[in-house]
Amino acid sequence: MDVTSVGRKRILLVMPDWRSATSKWTPNDHPYLNKKALMPPLSLATIAALTPEDFEIDIWDESVHGFINDDTRFPVSYDIVGIGGYYSHIFRVLTLAGIFKRRGDFLVAGGAGVTASPKEYREYFDVLILGESEYIWPQFLHDFLDGNYKKTYKEINPVNMAHSPKPKWGNIKALMAGNYTVGAVQTTRGCPFRCDFCNEWRIFGRKVRTKSTQQVIEEIEELSNAGLKQIVFGVDNFYGNHKYAREILTAIIEFNKTQSEPLHFITQISVTISSDDEFLKMMADAGFNGLFIGIESPKAASLIESKKLQNLKGDLLENCKKILSYGLPVEASMIVGFDEDDESIFDAQFDFIQKSCIPYPRIRLLQAKPCTDLFDKLILERRVLDTSKLHLAENYFDTYLISNIIPASMTRISLFENYLKLLDRVFDMDNFTERMMGFIDLINYCPEREKKEDVRIIGGKLPAELNNFIRKIDPKEQDCVEKILNHAASKVPHQLNNIVGLIVRQQFEAQQVEETKKTILSQIEFERNLDLSQCILEVSEGIDDL
């Protein structure tokens, strides 16, 4: 291919489908959601906005457009194919690289997964884009047009967020309302904390860098106009810069006053907000109905081990309840498999989740991801496993599900088996109902705009649309769902829509658990007679040579 030929070049940007390794549910499988994917590919839309006019961009999101294979036909040929994704996408990314290579395409890889572990991608791609892309992506394209590009472009310094443009959604925009559950906006990069299992602060730094409030509202408005009424803030810690977070909340509250249907928001945040009543009130007033919080463990020794020291301020259980009391549902990240965790941790996790009334826990096995302090520590201790030697077949190994470490206080088999029992207990419908009833009882704040109830309870009965929802779900769960909704209708009617959303997420996650169990049970059988000493990732393999 002559990269110096005259005319506008064409670029295809591809987001891999996260279902590629398993047969997991999607939002399209639930009658209440009926969507193909969770959120549109914000990272690719940002890359599109950074691309000069010399190029034409198409975005292909496999979750919506469908899986790409050797028989897929595109309406045009492309001069560059760029593939993004997280580390959990690695097997699908490499599969896609093979497909496009067989077509003779010029391949570029970027995103968090490539940045964390570039050595695993090098032989498959012509160019790697490592780190934040605002400066190096345009530089690569300039070099590409000159026919003098480098194999690797790496951003060393933090990007000024004022230089990060509004996403250019292009061909994705028309698909948003019918295919995606939520929209996505990035407000900040960076996190002040330094949890040892997280690579975000090492990639993006500990100083929280911010977009202008005006740009954030403009991005929200564009997504709203495209038909999306719930927005996820793709940030490391929304509370990382307190002053800025308040500015954003104030702007959202004012923006929602202009909307016939107020928008709702989800974000990632720290449990430290529990000591800031004013901020909690503002979040409720702004319409937040989902907070992803890294609780991780009820065991202080495990929190100390993982450098999650912010969770040790005050009583963790009461701090969770405080957040819930404002009607702010907590989606709690919980981890098992720390060195300080023995087999008693599974009962401790279950007891904490039930007592805290956390509606939506996300429990996972500890992983040592590249570019983390945990990875650096365990690889020297020869306790990181080579994932390529742990899966049964190509694309089988799910990097999000299966731990890649040798635990200190139990065997891997014991870790897996007890983890599955914990999932069964937590996502049991009766246990979920108990947590939801407790959550409803904890709520003692109602935003002013919601005191004019959206849903009127007629004759003490649920409105027709909620009864229709109940009729669509599994008959075995209908009594539990009706019990939850009736309790919410009598105590916090302004929360009914949020409560329905939490029930849907429970059903979604419970279905995911069934797929998770299949994967892990197969892994258990595979590892029963496996010599783990032959699967150790050597130090030389784990260190990037950049």
Distance CA 330, CA 356 (A): 10
| pTM reported for the whole predicted model | 0.89
pLDDT score recorded for residue 31: 52
Residue 267, beta-bridge partner list: 233, 291
Token match 């040892």: residue?
196
Say if residue 472's pLDDT is above 90: no
Dihedral Cα 281, 314, 369, 95, nearest 10 deg: -30
Share of the chain above pLDDT 70, in %: 90
Radius of gyration (Cα) for the chain, nearest Å? 23
Residue 543 DSSP SS3:
coil
Residue 384, beta-bridge partner list: 405
- Domains, the chain: 9-161 (3.40.50)
Distance CA 259, CA 217 (A): 13
Eight-state DSSP code of residue 260:
S
Q: How far is CA 72 from CA 62, 67, 69, 171, 325, in A?
A: 12, 8, 5, 18, 51
Q: pLDDT tens-digit profile of 116-133? A: 889 889 999 999 999 999
Share of the chain above pLDDT 90, in %: 68
The answer to whether the beta carbons of residues 136 and 153 sit under 8 Å apart is yes
Distance CA 170, CA 12 (A): 12
Distance CA 332, CA 223 (A): 26
pLDDT score recorded for residue 500: 87
First to last CA, the chain: 28
The answer to whether the beta carbons of residues 237 and 187 sit under 8 Å apart is no
- Residue 382: band (very low, low, confident or very high) from pLDDT cuts 50, 70, 90: very high
Residue 68 DSSP SS3:
coil
Distance CA 394, CA 391 (A): 7
- Residue 206: band (very low, low, confident or very high) from pLDDT cuts 50, 70, 90: confident
Say if residue 222's pLDDT is above 80: yes
The answer to whether the beta carbons of residues 278 and 440 sit under 8 Å apart is no
